[in-house]
Amino acid sequence: MVVERARGESQSMSGSLQSLCWGSSAFGGIVSSYFSGSLVDAYGVRFVFGVTALLPLITSVVAVLVKEQPVRGINRPSANYDFVRSSRQHVVELWGAVSQRNVLLPTLFIFLWQATPQSDSAMFFFTTNKLGFTPEFLGRVKLVTSIASLLGVGLYNGFLKKVPLRKIFLVTTIFGCALGMSQVLLVTGLNREWGISDEWFAIGDSLIITVLGQASFMPVLVLAAKLCPEGMEATLFATLMSISNGGSVLGGLIGAGLTQMFGVTKDSFENLSTLIILCNLSSLLPLPLLRLLPQETPDSNSDTIDVELKSN
């Protein structure tokens, strides 16, 4: 729905639409995070799983309020096509859209940008097993990160939506790499030597990193929305997001392999600092591929992307 409404709009307007959606999502995250840790302590894990399984049903109630018109003039398989032939035609149409140069190259960058290794799982075991963070405190951290996500959306919508995409990716990646190194202070205990408790340092660290992370992810959504051709908005946008998520999964798997290689376990964190440094430095690797992104002006519409990319 956002992709349809962003068609032909400038990067600034498309960014505003994405900010509205993800800002609403972040606000919902604030509400859920406020109760998550306390509910686990009070009622147990099974109760919380039950509640979180039922709440998405609200979406079905909201869905009846959506008004949409069928797309005319798009080739669709007739009713007497069997499922296999229909699916084959849909796959051919999807590949035809993805294989276009102005879609394929930015998609490749998004995948590689997300596929850098991560140390999140190792840090989770460190904070729970080594530092002894309780589920209630982790709920508070989640609340802070949800608020930070909302701040990140506001930061992008207020200051970054008119900035060219290449510049946003470059600056946020470099700053994200530098700020990610702050986790080394928590692992080595330097924060305690500076008089900052583990809890307050973890909250502050999560707040800053999440704000920057959300602000840097918004251009991915804007770019994906602007790449979708008419008539395939939902399918292609879902495909691009799946490719992005696939890159993130690959990054997690590489991070897991590095965690095992460095001998970091739930009881041994001797090489965790090295793992964190390596994972953060690896986030800089996709930067030479920034030329794969369209070089558009902030107020240009989506129709100019293909021409400007080919000119490079």
- What's the pLDDT tens digit per position in 166-193? 888 888 888 888 888 888 888 888 888 8
| pLDDT score at 309 | 40
pLDDT at 11 over 80: no
Distance of CA 296 to the CA centre of its chain: 22
Q: How far is CA 88 from the centre of its chain?
A: 30
- Whether residue 312 is predicted with pLDDT greater than 60 in this model: the reply is no
Every domain of the chain and the residues it spans = 2-47+101-310
Per-residue confidence (pLDDT) for residue 149, from 0 to 100: 83
Please state, in angstroms and rounded to a whole number, the distance separating the CA atoms of residues 261 and 253. Answer: 12
265: which 2 tokens? Answer: 């376990």
3-state helix, strand, coil in the chain (%, to 5): 75, 0, 25
Alpha carbons 177 and 237: distance in angstroms, whole number: 28
Tell me if 212 sits within 8 A of 176, measured CB to CB.
yes
Cα–Cα distance, 248 to 116 (Å, whole number): 8
Mean pLDDT calculated for residue range 45-61: 83
Least confident of 2-6, 14-18, 305-309: 305-309
Is the per-residue pLDDT at 39 higher than 90?
no
The share of the chain scoring above pLDDT 90, in percent, equals 8
| Residue predicted with more confidence, 31 or 282 | 282
Q: Which CATH number fits domain 2-47+101-310: 3.30.1300.30, 1.20.1250.20, 3.40.50.620, 3.30.9.10?
A: 1.20.1250.20
Across the range 136-152, mean pLDDT stands at: 81
Spatial contact of 240 and 110, defined as CB atoms under 8 Å apart: yes
pLDDT at 249: 92
**75-126 pLDDT, tens per residue?**
554 545 566 776 777 778 778 777 777 778 888 888 988 899 988 888 888 8
Burial (CB count within 10 angstroms: exposed 0-12, middle 13-18, buried 19+), residue 210: buried
User: Rounded to an integer, what distance in angstroms lies between the CA atom of residue 133 and that of residue 137?
Assistant: 6
**pTM for the whole thing?**
0.70
Hey, what's the torsion of the CAs at 20, 25, 27, 29, to 10 degrees? -170
